[in-house]
Structure 1
Amino acid sequence: MKYFLLLFLFASTYIAQIIDTNKIDSFINKTRGRLNLQTGFSISVVVKDSLIFKKGYGYIDIDNKANTTSETPFYIASATKSFVAALNKILMNEKVIDIDEPISTYLPDFKFQTKPLDTETISIRDLLTHKHGIMSLPVVLRTAFTGDYTKEKLFKLYQNAEFTGVNFKYSNDGYVFNSLILEKVTGKTWQNLLEEKIFIPLEMNNTSCRVSDYTSLVLPKAYSTINGEIKELPFLKEDKTMHAAGGIISTVEDLSNWLIFNLGNGDFNSKKILPKSDLDEIHSAQVNCEKTFWKYNRYSYGLGWYLSDYNGETLIHHFGGYTGAKSHISFMPEYKIGIVALTNDEGDGYYLTEIAADYIYNLYLGKNADQIVEEELQTILNSQKETKAEEKEEKPEINSDWNTELLLGEYFSEDFGQVVINENLHLKFGNLNGDLIPSDNKKFICDLKAFRLKVEFTEEEGKAIELRLHGPTTLVFQKVK
């Protein structure tokens, strides 16, 4: 047994020594060319406690040819969850909270109105593993998109949350609710807690939970590349829409420190951050979830991390996506290798984060990386051709027979907040906004950048009294002014 263990350790070390970073660089350059990408892409590779490769490609601002580097800060979206889960374990280790206590322990005056949601039976661990059953679309919209909320309003909205069952159901709600608990218990914001307990100890000096900590010249512009055609998108994040389920901006260099910590024994540069047993618990299966993403067969969710089978190997990961942003953070604990890949492209650049990681892992494991990745790249390229052949932009017919002045004013929903329509038929919904394009009778199309909605008005006595935003679900607002 000892012989085989030594052989395995030697083989892993040997592979790490011979991994050719020039091949990684060449592969990424060639693949970017084949996908016709100019947008920004930044990547790093960690082996054990060493950063062995880091580089930026393309532009964070295409018009001004501003280069991407390994120090470029990107919004990492839902990859934030792994940090918040670790924060909870750190606070538990400090005896500030206990994640196995029911939330009633920390919020004794808070009660759900929807049964069977019960603060006596839902624990903090349930919040972190997505088996809490809490769902509030108003909270998700307000915290991730519109920025129209106060803590008091979030608590009130959560009182009327829907119940989704006790099985795993991925959402933002558990982590947003958890942040409210942490702030109540500690008297500090979740942003400050992350900075104090994780960013500073891990020397993540270019990482923040606040957009205002960066200048517009530093942050990447948001893009979508489809078949070589580049569309610039608005950067929709502001401080109020950075939340605990998706609220970190970081670099591949800083995130490499995060990976080194996760691949190690709970310390960083001789600083103990967590006991190894706590780190092992974070990376262990907490709840079953049979889902497949890309080539990863996800079988469980830990504390802020997915556990997956990846070609017969265990891959622990969490990704993130938002308008003009995609993040990939993953590692293979058995082989002590981890990868960070970030981009400001929600189109074809989105694929590069997964293709590059797949190539590097296969290269590291001594497999035929070029052949394996070529197959999936061909699938993407073929899909591009089909998309281009079928792609037709929907252009609604303009109906100019309405008295649009009747539609102007303020509309309000207790759940979703305020919508304002001005004299230019421009709709503002918190941080989201877009022009109303007349479609058919009393209906409009509005591109809110994050998503396109159909807008419908209800009239009474020649005046608009109600506005409906039709998307994945319908949001209803009453005219108040």
Structure 2
Amino acid sequence: MKYFFWLVLFCTASLTCSAQDNWLGTFADEVKTAAHLKAIPGYAFAVVSAEEPDQVFVQGKTRKNGKQPVNQDTVFRLASVSKTFTSVLAAKLVEQGKLNWNLPLSQLAPDYPFKPELAKSMTLGHILSQSSGYMPNAYDNLIEADYPVKRVLNELAGLKPICSPGSCYTYQNALFAVVEEGLHNSLQLNYAQLLQENLLMPLGMSRSGVGRQALMRDENWARPHVLLAKNRWHEVAVNEDYYRFAPAAGVNASIRDMRQWLKLMLGQYPHLLSSHAIEQLLTPKIRTSRELYRRHWRDHLKDAHYGLGWRVYDFDGELLVHHSGWVKGYRADVGFSPKYKTGMVFLMNAESNLMNEITVNFWADFFEQMKIRAQTAP
């Protein structure tokens, strides 16, 4: 799918009808067409800008054979986009003096037999920057086999690292359970409580929450779908597995709420998250060179790093902050441009690779439009 800048396809109330300004309407229509061709059950996406009214697009149903349409309040799983919530929560607690980026593993999870030298040298910052040193996706297989959290962490504690903390990129899910342990040990509150009190409630993200039960007790939630054959989707059950590792993949949200999340990261709520905290989160910590070879992305990425809970890309010479999520039956994607104060979030109740194509083409088109505007500005 390729998005061309056609003159005028349609206009929304808040978009001007010109070849330059109507590109978002064209993009939305192209997404609708592609999703229809692939029979995607449902999706929602939003574009947030400091200069323009929010744009929200929803399509499809909450379940393939159901009648309830997806709307702005439909709740989706965020999967690994949850890591952005965990890092932002940590940044807020650090500013409050309740947490420290250099808090060692020995204090985060003192009840587990991590190797003494590693327990001293690995910190909260290493975990959130995906530079722990453990082999990538260590023991995800145990998560998916429904092993209890404590057993997975005990297994992880005996694992020999492939590099020292902070020296190589090693993406993790299981290790994020250590963050929840540390928060509970330090503050005597669980992850869900801390997230609600410090971020979700102050931001008015009333449709967001943590955990499988929080998703399924809602009257308006998107069911997960997996592909059986070409364009044939099958509804599946929601598994508890990754929900038990909530800081890694346990958050749910609606597209309306995710607009608030983007506004927070774009600096529109400095009383909740300071510019200094945002700067800390977006500072590159470890290079992620494998990202440069991903399909669709490889034509645009010039460099790639991981910050604290966020990916930091050089996308066609522009800074793009991004994270994606993928868990059984769902895809999620969020990204923003600090320079242009614009962000995009996309939620889908199907495991479709169309997500990568949509995201890359959105940002390629967006940055191209910014160049055109700069060239034509008086």
Q: So what's the TM-score if we normalise by structure 1?
A: 0.65
Measured on the aligned residues, the alpha-carbon RMSD in Å equals 3.0
* 2:192 is the alignment partner of 1:187: no
Name the one with the larger strand percent.
Answer: 1
Instruction: Write the letter of the residue equivalent to 2:222.
Output: P
* Equivalent pair of 1:225/1:348 in contact (CA under 8 Å): no
Please state whether the residue corresponding to 1:316 is helix, strand or coil.
strand
Instruction: Write the letter of the residue equivalent to 1:354.
Output: T
Task: Identify the residue that residue 61 of structure 1 maps to in structure 2.
Answer: 63
Distance 1:37 1:304, change over 3 A: same
Separation in structure 2 between the aligned mates of residue 203 and residue 97 of structure 1, nearest angstrom: 24
Task: Identify the residue that residue 281 of structure 2 maps to in structure 1.
Answer: 282
How far off is 1:20 after superposition? 5.2
1:20-169 matches, cutoff 5 A: 21-33=24-36, 35-48=37-50, 51-108=53-110, 110-113=112-115, 118-134=118-134, 140-143=140-143, 145-149=144-148, 151=150, 153-166=151-164, 167-169=168-170
Separation in structure 2 between the aligned mates of residue 346 and residue 365 of structure 1, nearest angstrom: 31
Q: Which structure would you say has the larger RCO, counting Cα contacts within 8 Å and 6 or more residues apart?
A: 2
Which one is further off, 331-340 or 175-184?
Answer: 175-184
Separation in structure 1 between the aligned mates of residue 345 and residue 261 of structure 2, nearest angstrom: 10
Deviations 1:125-151 (Å, cap 9, x if unpaired)? Answer: 1111111123597853454x3444154
* Equivalent pair of 1:135/1:164 in contact (CA under 8 Å): yes
Task: Identify the residue that residue 256 of structure 1 maps to in structure 2.
Answer: 259
Please state whether the residue corresponding to 1:219 is helix, strand or coil.
coil
Instruction: Write the letter of the residue equivalent to 1:224.
Output: V
Instruction: Write the letter of the residue equivalent to 2:313.
Output: S
How far off is 1:109 after superposition? 5.8
How far off is 1:254 after superposition? 0.6
Please state whether the residue corresponding to 2:132 is helix, strand or coil.
coil
Separation in structure 2 between the aligned mates of residue 136 and residue 177 of structure 1, nearest angstrom: 16
* 2:348 is the alignment partner of 1:343: yes
Separation in structure 1 between the aligned mates of residue 177 and residue 371 of structure 2, nearest angstrom: 41
Task: Identify the residue that residue 325 of structure 1 maps to in structure 2.
Answer: 330
How far off is 1:92 after superposition? 1.0
Separation in structure 2 between the aligned mates of residue 230 and residue 22 of structure 1, nearest angstrom: 28
Separation in structure 2 between the aligned mates of residue 137 and residue 27 of structure 1, nearest angstrom: 34
Please state whether the residue corresponding to 2:196 is helix, strand or coil.
helix
* Equivalent pair of 1:39/1:349 in contact (CA under 8 Å): no
Separation in structure 2 between the aligned mates of residue 276 and residue 262 of structure 1, nearest angstrom: 9
Task: Identify the residue that residue 249 of structure 2 maps to in structure 1.
Answer: 246
Separation in structure 2 between the aligned mates of residue 26 and residue 105 of structure 1, nearest angstrom: 51
Distance 1:51 1:31, change over 3 A: same
How far off is 1:212 after superposition? 1.2
Separation in structure 1 between the aligned mates of residue 74 and residue 361 of structure 2, nearest angstrom: 18
Deviations 1:47-69 (Å, cap 9, x if unpaired)? Answer: 02765211211222121233112
* Equivalent pair of 1:72/1:219 in contact (CA under 8 Å): yes
How far off is 1:190 after superposition? 1.0
Which one is further off, 160-169 or 333-342?
Answer: 160-169
How far off is 1:157 after superposition? 2.8
* Equivalent pair of 2:287/2:305 in contact (CA under 8 Å): yes
How far off is 1:105 after superposition? 4.0
Task: Identify the residue that residue 393 of structure 1 maps to in structure 2.
Answer: none
Separation in structure 2 between the aligned mates of residue 325 and residue 359 of structure 1, nearest angstrom: 24
Please state whether the residue corresponding to 2:41 is helix, strand or coil.
coil
Q: How many residues align?
A: 345
Separation in structure 1 between the aligned mates of residue 231 and residue 276 of structure 2, nearest angstrom: 49
Separation in structure 2 between the aligned mates of residue 121 and residue 301 of structure 1, nearest angstrom: 19
Instruction: Write the letter of the residue equivalent to 1:157.
Output: E
* Equivalent pair of 2:152/2:174 in contact (CA under 8 Å): no
Name the one with the larger helix percent.
Answer: 2
Task: Identify the residue that residue 206 of structure 1 maps to in structure 2.
Answer: 207
The percent identity for this pair of structures is 19
Deviations 1:320-375 (Å, cap 9, x if unpaired)? Answer: 1111111110001111110000111113544464266346525643669xxxxxxx
Q: So what's the TM-score if we normalise by structure 2?
A: 0.81
Which one is further off, 124-133 or 175-184?
Answer: 175-184
* Equivalent pair of 1:221/1:232 in contact (CA under 8 Å): no
How far off is 1:179 after superposition? 1.8
* Equivalent pair of 1:212/1:238 in contact (CA under 8 Å): no
Deviations 1:90-130 (Å, cap 9, x if unpaired)? Answer: 111111111123233444565424x8x51111111111111
* Equivalent pair of 2:137/2:172 in contact (CA under 8 Å): no
